[in-house]
Amino acid sequence: MGSIKQNYANNVLTNGKFDATDLDGVIPNTNINDNSIDNVTVFGTAGSGIPSVASDPPSPTIGDVWYNTTTNAFKYTGAGVGAWVSGGNLNTARSNLAPAVSGTQTAALSFGGYIGGPFPAAVSSANEKYNGTSWTTATNLNSARYQLTGAGTQTAALAFGGFTAGFVSATLTETYNGSSWTEVNDLNTGRYGLTGLGLQTAALAVGGTPGTAQIAFTESWDGTSWTEVNDLNTARGENFMGGGTQTSGIIAFGQTNAGSPPTKTAKTELWNGTSWTEVNNANTARSNLAGCGTQTIALAFAGLLPPATAATEKWDGTSWTTTSNMATARDALGGAGTQSSAVAFGGQSPITGATEEWSLPEFTIKSVTTA
């Protein structure tokens, strides 16, 4: 093996290989003549496998590593970290309102709700549009109600179900064209605290409460009428999270009974256009929350444990992960957008018009540090 310094002699094995498990120091290349070496960890250096750059790359991918010669630091690209920031307040503070769930952070719609105080005046028909900065009052619903739900976009929305001022579980359905609301065919089963998903012409009405007990009913909307389809595996109500489309949807959380205390759930179900399948539970069981996104990339936020919570979770198609909390804990709120760009508005504890905007960057550049 060539000449070996005395303090390294015990590292030569009988088979002629070199054992470096207790090695501390540097061996010159000229001292190693055998190309079979055991237990050696080789670390890359800047310029040999790890690129050296004067500035961070503009569009790295998660997992990239480089050495920044300006800051004299090794850097890498990690997963993005989301955050909530304040947006413009609703003109009419209310809870138990509905969103057009396919709306975006810069084009959301809120309608109906509860403004507080004695009935029937406390039940609202208010409708507002959000442009990413502020809310503008728009044409009211034809029928005031709360704990209703919605589907569609800011200019093509669907409102259905809810509780009317007379404490009646509504079958009412209305469509919105960006200017006015029109009553259309009713749900087959009136209910409140249900969840909607999809578009104005292709939506689902899921779960809810027609009286005192939650139901598992699902109805499909074809742009003209509602048709009963396969039930949920777990009956639930109290405005749980929903997202996706009429043929590829997700629902999660909710309340599963009206007992004392009522039971909250973290169960998640996926819809394939025909039936529901239970998948991995969320982390925090709750009801009266909001959510948005698709079957594979979704977001759920706030809700009632009790008390009201600011908790946020994101769904990656397989499991839920806890992420950054909202600034204000609340329940019975509305929400719209995507996992990377969402908006939350209204709610209670107490009744509020506060709006928060969520942003989740694709990646975050971090410096390598040592403990």
Pairing relation of β-strands 181-184 and 173-176? Answer: antiparallel
Kindly state the tokens that stand for 180.
Answer: 């006015």
Residue carrying structure tokens 């970290």 = 81
Q: Could you tell me if residue 309 is inside a domain? A: yes
Domain boundary among 22, 48, 80: 80
Burial of 231: CB neighbours in 10 Å, binned 0-12, 13-18, 19+: middle
Mark whether 236 and 340 lie in a shared domain. yes
Q: Could you tell me if residue 371 is inside a domain? A: no
Mark whether 16 and 132 lie in a shared domain. no
Mark whether 209 and 288 lie in a shared domain. yes
Mark whether 123 and 227 lie in a shared domain. yes
Mark whether 183 and 155 lie in a shared domain. yes
At 167, which CATH number?
A: 2.120.10.80
Could you tell me if 342 and 335 are in contact, meaning their C-beta atoms sit under 8 angstroms apart? yes
Across the 371 residues of the chain, what is the mean pLDDT of every consecutive 10-residue run?
A: 48 56 54 47 51 81 80 74 94 96 94 93 96 98 97 98 90 98 98 97 97 95 98 97 97 88 95 98 98 97 97 97 97 96 97 96 69 50
Per-residue DSSP letters for 87-111? -PPPSS--BS-EE-TT-BTTBEEEE
Give tens-digit pLDDT for 105-127. 999 999 999 999 988 889 999 99
Residue 295, classed as helix, strand or coil, is coil
Mark whether 33 and 137 lie in a shared domain. no
Residue-level length of the chain? 371
Q: Could you tell me if residue 262 is inside a domain? A: yes
Mark whether 87 and 74 lie in a shared domain. no
Q: Could you tell me if residue 299 is inside a domain? A: yes
Domain boundary among 80, 95, 116: 80
Q: Could you tell me if residue 365 is inside a domain? A: no
Dihedral of alpha carbons 216, 272, 157, 224, sign = negative
Give tens-digit pLDDT for 316-339. 999 999 999 999 999 999 999 999
Q: Could you tell me if residue 247 is inside a domain? A: yes
Kindly state the tokens that stand for 213.
Answer: 């007990």
Q: Could you tell me if residue 370 is inside a domain? A: no
Mark whether 45 and 183 lie in a shared domain. no
Domain boundary among 80, 97, 121: 80
Q: Could you tell me if residue 369 is inside a domain? A: no
Mark whether 214 and 287 lie in a shared domain. yes
User: Which of 145, 186, 187, 191 is CA-nearest to residue 164?
Assistant: 145
Residue 361: asked if its preceding bond is cis (omega within 30°), the reply is no
Could you tell me if 39 and 24 are in contact, meaning their C-beta atoms sit under 8 angstroms apart? no
Mark whether 102 and 69 lie in a shared domain. no
Q: What is the pLDDT of residue 79?
A: 66
How many distinct structural domains can be found in the chain?
Answer: 2
Mark whether 282 and 191 lie in a shared domain. yes
Mark whether 201 and 95 lie in a shared domain. yes
Range(s) of the domain holding residue 144: 83-359
Backbone angles phi, psi at 6, to 5 degrees: -60, -40
